[in-house]
A = this chain, B = another copy of it.
Amino acid sequence: MTKEIEFYYDIVSPYTYLAYKRIIEIEKTSNIKFIYKPILLGGLHKLSNITAAAFIESKKKYTIHDCQLIAEKFKINFKYNDKFPISSLNIMRGVLTLEENKKKNYIDKFFNAYWCYNIDLSDEKEIIKILNSLQIDYNEYILKVKDQKTKDLLKNLTNEAFKKEVFGAPTFIVNGKIYWGQDRLDFAIDEYNKITQS
Please give the residue numbers on chain A whose beta carbons come within 8 Å of chain B beta carbons, in ascending order: 48-51, 56-59, 61-62, 65-66, 69, 162, 165-167, 177-178, 180, 183-184, 187
Q: Across the interface, name the chain B residue whose C-beta is closest to A69.
A: B187
- Are A178 and B59 neighbours in the complex by a CB distance under 8 Å? no
Known: A58-B166, A58-B167, A62-B178. 6 other contacts (CB 8 A): A48-B56, A48-B58, A50-B51, A56-B167, A66-B184, A69-B184
Most buried by B among A49, A166, A177: A49
When A56-B49, A183-B183 are in contact, do A165 and B65 touch as well, CB less than 8 Å? no
Which applies to chain A's interface (DSSP): helix, strand, loop or mixed?
helix
Instruction: Among B65, B162, B177, point to the contact of A178 (Cβ < 8 A).
Output: B65
Min CB distance, A190 to chain B, in Å?
Answer: 9
- Are A65 and B177 neighbours in the complex by a CB distance under 8 Å? yes
- Are B48 and A51 neighbours in the complex by a CB distance under 8 Å? no
Residues of B within 8 A of A183 (CB): 183
- Are A59 and B167 neighbours in the complex by a CB distance under 8 Å? yes
Residues of B within 8 A of A165 (CB): 58, 61-62
- Are B180 and A62 neighbours in the complex by a CB distance under 8 Å? yes
Q: Could you pull out 28 A-B pairs where Cβ atoms are within 8 angstroms? A: A48-B56, A48-B58, A48-B59, A49-B51, A49-B56, A49-B57, A50-B51, A50-B56, A50-B59, A51-B51, A56-B167, A58-B162, A58-B165, A58-B166, A58-B167, A59-B167, A61-B165, A62-B165, A62-B167, A62-B178, A62-B180, A65-B177, A65-B178, A66-B180, A66-B184, A69-B184, A69-B187, A183-B183
